Amino acid sequence: MLALGPVSAEAQVSKPQSPAKAETDSQRIAFVHLRFTGAQVQLVGFKIVPGRFKTAPEPAGERILLQVVGSSGKPLWEGWLNDPRTRVLEFEDTRQPRRRTGMAVAVPNPEVVVRVPFIEEGQTIQIWNVTPPAKGSGPHYQRLNSVQLRER
């Protein structure tokens, strides 16, 4: 297990390279436990189990991009999750009964377990923060960390 340090200026890029094709026919899945602290992500641990990987739709808004990169540096797979550092709470508006309102709340140091296909020994998971596009531009990508998965 390997956890790298904070985001550097050169880690901020316009967009990571996309995989040529989704290689989700993996017969093994890695359950990856991550801890978010500010603008950093640390690998807490991971477990590799047999199984088929199922894909999920891309969420909207601020999100986290997970990208599996092979030992050659070529992206093999990518997936998304809602940013765990922010949670939206919904409740009934007291001024307008039967109407719901929402509020974004910051979650300090959240931990999540994510599933990624385990395609090859030594694969790296690159973790990116994706900010929605401003009017007239594309989304902003900021690399938070890279972690390498090796079986023990």
Summarised one tens digit per residue, pLDDT across range 94-151 is 888 888 888 889 999 999 999 999 987 778 999 999 988 778 788 889 999 999 887 7
**pTM assigned to the model:** 0.73
- Using CA atoms, how far apart are residues 125 and 48, in angstroms rounded to an integer? 14
- The answer to the question of residue 2 being in a domain is no
Does residue 56 surpass a pLDDT of 90? Answer: no
Residue 18: is it exposed, middle or buried by C-beta count within 10 angstroms (0-12/13-18/19+)? Answer: exposed
Percent residues over pLDDT 70 in the chain: 78
Give the pLDDT band of residue 59 (cuts 50, 70, 90). Answer: low
- The answer to the question of residue 1 being in a domain is no
Q: What domain count does the chain have?
A: 1
- Domain housing 32: 9-148
Q: What are phi and psi of 11, to 5 degrees?
A: -80, -10
Give the pLDDT band of residue 2 (cuts 50, 70, 90). Answer: very low
- Comparing 119 with 2, the larger pLDDT belongs to 119
Cβ–Cβ under 8 Å, residues 142 and 8: no
Q: Strand runs (DSSP E) across the chain, as ranges?
A: 12-13, 28-37, 40-50, 63-69, 75-82, 86-92, 100-106, 111-117, 124-131, 140-148
Distance between start and end Cα atoms, the chain:
9
Check residue 18 and report its DSSP letter.
P
